[in-house]
Amino acid sequence: MIQDVAPLRFDNAFIPASPAVDDLVLDLSADGLLLLNGLPPTVEAWRKSPARQNAALLYAFRLTTEEDASPPRPASDTFRTASAVACSASEASDTARETEKGIADLPLPARETEKDAAAPGCASAPARETDAPSALLRRERPETRFFLVLRAGDSDAPTPDSWRRVAPRDLRTAPAPLPLVAATAAHLFRWYDTTRFCPRCASPLKHAEKERALACPSCGHILYPVIAPCVIVAVTHEDRLLLTRYARPGAKHLVLVAGFIEIGETAEQAAAREVMEETGLRIKNLRYQGSQPWGFSGSLVSAFSAELDGPDTIRLDTSELAEARWVRRADIPPCPALDSFTMHLIHRFARGEL
């Protein structure tokens, strides 16, 4: 799954750092994440573009080796980018404007979940590239830090021929850790892009200096990054798994029951409610299977398995679903990747592990 980046370790704690020449730049636009030789460019390479020399960069996260638990490197004054910490969010998000189309295009969790099971099943997934993290490990240093572009300086800055932009979700099955890097970059970027003014008094927000937050200088209101919690449920009954397909146009693939957690309810309650709402089925023996960050849509997925409790007759919620049906273990076809928890659970069921 996208969060599996071992032997690297993902560290998302915020530090008020300035970038060094060998840190990597997360440059998002409507056309996707900027890549150079398959990776986000170094600050040094990225700065060579005249239009990017003075753009603000904000610390995003880092990847370290499993053994390395040392604190992040101290701030560097190599570039002017420390100003990103103190500048107005509304001023710093010029780049965001050019990405409105791209960000708006990011699908909702349920839709992503559907895509997850895009291959109509997961009986046998191909092996992932074994040297997946090596691209970053070859950098031969204990940590790789990533900085988010908050201001391009010139939205029409040309992209060199050797560079390319890739939609974050199109990197879902790229070698690790690129999927997690892309998803987290997309999540962070969208939050900064859509959070520029105080929701209480409409004043321009400023970046907090010591934490990942935006603060209103007028009324003191503080905003923290928004994560949308949702659930997916693998409902089983004897040798069958409950799979659904969304009713909206373009939804072709079978997925698990999924939905957002409502205010005031537990994840377990949300799981039971979503199954009842979408299929009219009751569940029992709900078991937590794990969670997954899904930054492509700004979500955190909590995954459950459950058993049918009562009659197996499906009452379809046609406002959401085109179909819901029980699929026998032997009838679940292979899937191409196991990047999501949806695929992971379907795959496990097909293997008799669920």
CB of 122 to Zn ion, least distance (A): 48
Closer Cβ to Zn ion, 6 or 219, answer by number: 219
Q: Which residues of 72-86 are buried (b: 16+ CB within 10 A; e: fewer)?
A: beebbebbebbbbbe
Burial class from Cβ neighbours inside 10 Å (0-12, 13-18, 19+) for residue 213 reads middle
Closer Cβ to Zn ion, 171 or 216, answer by number: 216
Closer Cβ to Zn ion, 136 or 214, answer by number: 214
Q: What would the two tokens of residue 230 be?
A: 């949702």
213-272: which residues touch Zn ion (CB under 5 A)?
216, 218-219, 221
Closer Cβ to Zn ion, 211 or 265, answer by number: 211
CB of 3 to Zn ion, least distance (A): 35
CB of 220 to Zn ion, least distance (A): 7
What angle, 0 to 180 degrees and rounded to 10, lies between the N-to-C axes of helices 109-116 and 341-350? 40
User: Among residues 21, 69, 201, 222, which is the contact residue for Zn ion, using CB under 5 A?
Assistant: 201
Of the ranges 94-102, 147-155, 194-202, 260-268, which one interacts with Zn ion (CB under 5 A)? 194-202
Closer Cβ to Zn ion, 174 or 205, answer by number: 205
Of the ranges 192-200, 206-214, 239-247, 248-256, which one interacts with Zn ion (CB under 5 A)? 192-200
Closer Cβ to Zn ion, 53 or 218, answer by number: 218
CB of 140 to Zn ion, least distance (A): 46
How many binding residues for Zn ion (CB under 5 A)?
8
CB of 89 to Zn ion, least distance (A): 12
The maximal CA–CA distance of the chain, rounded, in angstroms, is 66
The residue type found at 280 is G
Cα 343 from Cα 4, distance rounded (Å): 14
CB of 198 to Zn ion, least distance (A): 3
Of the ranges 82-90, 209-217, 283-291, 311-319, which one interacts with Zn ion (CB under 5 A)? 209-217
Closer Cβ to Zn ion, 223 or 228, answer by number: 223
Cα 107 from Cα 112, distance rounded (Å): 6
- Residue 198 is a binding residue for Zn ion (CB under 5 A): yes
DSSP string, 126-192: PPPPTTTTHHHHTT-SSEEEEEEES--S-TTPPPPTTEEEE-GGGGTTSSTTHHHHHHHHHHHHHHH
CB of 92 to Zn ion, least distance (A): 17
Angle at 203 between CA 218 and CA 207, to 5 degrees: 80
Would you tell me which residues interact with Zn ion (CB under 5 A)? 198, 200-201, 203, 216, 218-219, 221
